[in-house]
Structure 1
Amino acid sequence: MIGLFLGDTDFPEIVLKKIKKLKKKYFIIDFSKNNKFKKDKNSYRISIGQFGKIIKLIKKKKSNKVLFAGKIARPNLKSLRLDLKGIYYMPSVIKASKIGDAAIIKSIINILFNEEIKVISSIHFNPELSLKKGIYTKTKSNKNENNSIKKAINYFNKINNLDHVQALVVKDEKIIAIEGKQGTKNMLSRLKKNSKGILIKLPKNKQDLRMDLPTVGLQTIKDIKKYGLKGLVLKSKKNIFLNKDEVIRFADKNNIFIKVI
Structure 2
Amino acid sequence: MPAPKGLIAGLGRFPIEVAQAARNAGHAVVAVGLRGLTEEALRAEVDRFEWVHLGEIERLIAVFRDAGARDLVMAGKVPKTFLWQKPELVQPDARALQAMAGIADRKDDSLLGAVADLLEGEGFRLLGQAELAPGLFAAPGQLGVVAAGENELRDIAFGWPMAKAIGELDVGQTVVVRGQAVLALEAVEGTDEAVRRGCALGEPGASVVKVAKPAQDMRFDVPTIGAATIQALADGGARALAIEAYKTVVLSRQETIALADRHGIAVLGLVDGALPGGGEDVS
Mapped to 1, the partners of 2:66 and 2:240 lie a distance apart of 48
Task: Tell me how far 1:112 sits from its aligned partner.
Answer: 1.5
Structure 2 match to 1:6: 9
The 2-side partners of 1:137 and 1:29 are apart by 35
Please say if residues 6 and 72 of structure 1, whose CA atoms lie closer than 8 Å, have aligned partners that are also in contact: no
Secondary structure of the corresponding residue to residue 260 of structure 1: strand
- TM-aligned CA deviation for residue 59 of structure 1: 3.1
Match for 1:67: what amino acid?
Answer: V
Measured in 1, the distance between the counterparts of 2:226 and 2:93 equals: 38
**SS across alignment from 2:220:** coil
Partner of 1:99: 107
Q: Is the 8 A contact 2:208 2:242 kept in 1?
A: yes
Deviations 1:60-88 (A, max 9, x none): 33322100111224464976545443343
Greater share of helix? 2
Residue in 1 aligned with 2:145? 138
Q: Which runs of 5+ in 1 are unaligned?
A: none
Query: Structure 1: which amino acid aligns with 2:233?
Result: I
Q: 1:212 aligns with which of 195, 202, 221?
A: 221
1:5 is paired with a residue of what secondary structure?
strand
- For residues 219 and 35 of structure 1, do their structure 2 counterparts lie closer, same or farther at Cα, with a shift above 3 Å needed? closer
- In 1, the alpha carbon distance for the partners of 2:268 and 2:97 equals 46
CA contact (8 A) 1:3 1:26 kept: yes
Q: Are 1:72 and 2:78 counterparts?
A: yes
Q: C-alpha separation between the residues in 1 aligned to 2:53 and 2:184?
A: 35
Q: TM-score, normalised by structure 2?
A: 0.79
Distance 1:216 1:160 in 2: 16
1:114 and 2:160 aligned: no
The residue that corresponds to 2:99 in the other structure is 89
- Kept in 2, the 8 Å contact 1:18–1:126? The answer is yes
CA distance in 2, matches of 1:51, 1:219: 31
Matched AA of 1:29 = V
The within-5 A match list for 1:1-261 is: 1-33=4-36, 36-37=39-40, 42-74=48-80, 76=83, 80-92=90-102, 95-96=104-105, 98-100=106-108, 102-161=109-168, 163-190=170-197, 191-192=199-200, 194-261=203-270
Q: Note the aligned Cα RMSD (angstroms).
A: 2.7
Moved more, 56-65 or 104-113: 56-65
The 1:91–1:15 alpha-carbon spacing in structure 2 relative to 1, beyond 3 Å, is: same
Structure 1 residues 137 and 182: CA distance shift in structure 2, 3 A? same
Query: Conserved in 2, the CA contact under 8 Å of 1:103 and 1:162?
Result: no
Deviation at 1:195, TM superposition (A): 2.8
Question: TM-score if structure 1 supplies the norm length?
Answer: 0.85
2:221 maps to amino acid: D
1 CA distance for matches of 2:111 and 2:59?
A: 18
Tell me if structure 1 keeps the 8 A contact 2:30–2:69.
no
1:111-154 CA distances to partner (integer Å, 9 max, x unpaired)? Answer: 22222321111243222211211012333223443232222221
Aligned residues: 258
Seq. identity, %: 20
Q: After TM superposition, give the deviation of residue 24 of structure 1 in Å.
A: 1.7
CA separation in 1, counterparts of 2:37 and 2:164? Answer: 36
